[in-house]
Structure 1
Amino acid sequence: MFGLVVAVVFVAPLATVVAAGLAGSWTGAVPSDLGFEHFDDALTGESLASLSVSLQTAFLAGGVALVLGTWAALAARECPPWLARVVDGVFHLPIAVPSVAIGLGLLIAFNEQPLLLGGTRWIVILAHAVLVLAFAFSAVSAALDRLDPAYRQAAESLGAGPLRVLTRITLPLLLPALGAAAGLAVALSMGELGATVMVYPATWKTLPVSIFALTDRGQAFQAAACTTVLLVVTLLALVLLGRIRGRAALR
């Protein structure tokens, strides 16, 4: 029953998207005039540029979120309990707020000097970083909760200072969790649309925005091909990050 639910709810819609990307027309129960014309268009011109923008945005925003989320998770463990709860609530706030509200807020807040980011790529990267920051913070916080304090205590008993404990004990033990957090951040950023639509400039259009524009113009087959490319590239990025995480776990 579980396999059937997964097939109907998850596999079938994705398979339909792939089939639509291959279709030249779809007037009956199955697509017809199958070919790779739409995929050729998806890998050239504006669509390819949007894919490049999505990858750059995802890795930059994911990196920023990973650094800030790890820093906050480590700092929260050294705070008084009440302050740790405040930090936890602040970093989880983007999950509770609609992404459109995040985008609008950033657009208004950073649309004047001295922090004029509106109309630049940086406001898109900032919006993505804010949205994925909560997930990076949660992943690292959960890993810290599972970390055996005996390692840290042993290092401190041997005379290691806080910085040495952090760089030689804590962070190496957190590498698998950091890899998982990075993968989640990149995957979420690659598919983000709500906040991006509010803030993106014409020179920094992500692939989800291009897909939305294609569907809005009635070019559903082309949008399906671009969506398939987005899925494949996201999976490849996750596989790459997964291999890095696996090597870190073995070490």
Structure 2
Amino acid sequence: MLLAVFGLVVLVVFIAPLGTVVAAGLAGSWTGPLPSDLGFDHVGDALSGENLASLSVSLQTAFLAGGVALVLGTWAALAARECPPWLARVVDAVFHLPIAVPSVAIGLGLLIAFNERPLLLGGTRWIVILAHAVLVLAFAFSAVSAALDRLDPAYRQAAESLGASPTRVLVKVTLPLLMPALGAAAGLAVALSMGELGATVMVYPATWKTLPVSIFALTDRGQALQAAACTSILLLVTLLALVLLGRIRGRAALR
């Protein structure tokens, strides 16, 4: 009974809405209970022109922001392990702060903070990448912190007893053991960045428009079917990126 209820919830909450989006993306029109004139016209438009450029921007932003968040989150998690408990709690609170406030507030804050020299990022791609990095940083930090909590200290202690320096222990022992967690953190960061909209609409320049922004604009103009096709492409590309990162994580775990 419990399994049946769970299956029903998954069907209603996840599968049905996503299936509806895919069906709408393939529909030539939808005026009745079911879509009609199914085809790939909208999909072709989603993979050409401005929409294709927006998809490229989303991928570049996701991987750059995810990389920045992964490096900073890993560094912060490692540093927090060596801090006094009170300082570690402060670091944890600071790095989780973006989760506690609306993404629109993050976007507006970055737009105001980096709209004057010497840190003039407004109107450039870098403010979008920075916004995404800030928003996904907490998840990278959490994933690495959780992995560090599960890490057996015996490995580090054995390396130190053999005379390895702290840097060598980090590079040769700690980071290799963290590779599966780093892969998971990277996948989560990329997935979240690919779908981010709230902060992006506050900061993006016309030359660096992500696909979620284009989808929002299409919906705002009443082009719901075209927006659905773009959303289907976004879902597919995000899944492919996660599969790729998952394979890398799997190989790292085997090592």
Q: Do they fold alike, i.e. is TM over 0.5?
A: yes
| C-alpha RMSD over aligned residues | 0.3
CA shift for structure 1 position 28: 1.1
Superposed CA offset, 1:144-174 (max 9, x none):
0000000000110111110000000000000
The whole-number CA distance in structure 1 between the counterparts of 2:43 and 2:90 is 48
29, 32, 52: which is aligned to 1:28? 32
The whole-number CA distance in structure 1 between the counterparts of 2:91 and 2:124 is 29
The whole-number CA distance in structure 2 between the counterparts of 1:170 and 1:160 is 12
The whole-number CA distance in structure 1 between the counterparts of 2:143 and 2:83 is 19
The whole-number CA distance in structure 2 between the counterparts of 1:191 and 1:27 is 28
Identify the residue that residue 70 of structure 1 maps to in structure 2.
Answer: 74
The whole-number CA distance in structure 1 between the counterparts of 2:32 and 2:245 is 41
Superposed CA offset, 1:200-240 (max 9, x none):
00000000000000000000000000000000000000000
Identity within the alignment, %: 91
Task: Give SS of 1:156's match.
Answer: helix
Task: Give SS of 2:199's match.
Answer: helix
Superposed CA offset, 1:77-97 (max 9, x none):
000000000000000000001
The whole-number CA distance in structure 2 between the counterparts of 1:49 and 1:27 is 30
Equivalenced residue count is 251
Q: Which runs of 4+ in 1 moved over 6 A?
A: none
Superposed CA offset, 1:19-59 (max 9, x none):
00011111111100111000000000000000000000000
The whole-number CA distance in structure 1 between the counterparts of 2:160 and 2:83 is 19
Task: Give SS of 1:205's match.
Answer: coil
Task: Give SS of 1:194's match.
Answer: coil
TM-score scaled by length of structure 1? 1.00
- Give the gaps of 5 or more residues in structure 2: none
TM-score scaled by length of structure 2? 0.98
CA shift for structure 1 position 119: 0.2
Identify the residue that residue 244 of structure 2 maps to in structure 1.
Answer: 240
